[in-house]
Structure 1
């Protein structure tokens, strides 16, 4: 009977020290760490009716894969925005990436139901906004004294408030003094 001799490479794999194993496990944990919350990825995975439970290790791999996918789509969209001389990535940049790159082609119908961004109406030339009128003083010209008088009319004067008294049904009872509603607040 011929015995097969173990090669040097085979011996190295089986003779790993505990320290080497610990270093490798830490390296794997570093690789699998993600900035995405695993709970959120788990909820997305459960949207598939075929998935009932997810193993913890599988969830870590799914989270890392989702993060890497988002990074790649973000880079492609950022490149598209830079080609149009913009710093801000817009929805149209993501759409262009999906249409132009085969790696994102599976997302082609994903943004069809996405709400369209609202367009802001620009003012016509010669129109001014309320803020500009206020700052420039072009609006209704009101004297500062009128504004002060109007604001003073709305101020409640404590000296004009009626005294709070007990209703007529308790005429024989002792009348309380004026109640200060604002006591202790200032």
Structure 2
């Protein structure tokens, strides 16, 4: 037997209230989750973003997106560098491993000469 649905929920009036409550809960969880989504300090990233004269305001969402993208880039780059280290049967990443990673992908060409 199905539960009895009465009142405003039967007519669909309670749907908007339920959606609003769900959105509030999601926003609250996102604000607490944002601290755990990235390991990089969001305040420092926001300050770096503001050093660009074209940037006057940076929303929290944009700062979070930049932080996550930076973290993912560094993670991928570190894995590539460690791959060169492991092939050389070493445990410590050296500069030559980083240089090999930069040379391996054209997408990393902008990093050439940065460590000099």
Query: TM-score scaled by structure 2?
Result: 0.67
Q: 1:82 aligns with which of 70, 86, 103?
A: 86
C-alpha deviations, 1:4-63, integer Å up to 9, x for none?
xxxxxxxxxxx6843654358747974882001012212322332322321111111111
- Structure number with the higher helix fraction is 2
Q: 1:50 aligns with which of 46, 51, 54?
A: 54
Query: TM-score scaled by structure 1?
Result: 0.44
Q: Number of aligned residue pairs: give it.
A: 98
Measured in 2, the distance between the counterparts of 1:33 and 1:84 equals: 33
Secondary structure of the 2:43 match is helix
RMSD: 2.7
Q: 2:66 aligns with which of 62, 75, 78?
A: 62
Secondary structure of the 1:86 match is coil
Measured in 1, the distance between the counterparts of 2:109 and 2:31 equals: 31
Alpha-carbon offset, residue 103 of structure 1: 2.7
- Correspondence 1:109 to 2:113: yes
Note the 1:1-186 alignment, pairs <5 A: 17-18=18-19, 21=23, 22=25, 26=29, 30=33, 33-112=37-116
Alpha-carbon offset, residue 67 of structure 1: 0.8
Q: Which residue of 2 aligns with 1:137?
A: none
Structure (1 or 2) with the larger CA radius of gyration: 1
Task: Give runs of ≥4 in structure 1 deviating > 4 Å.
Answer: 27-32
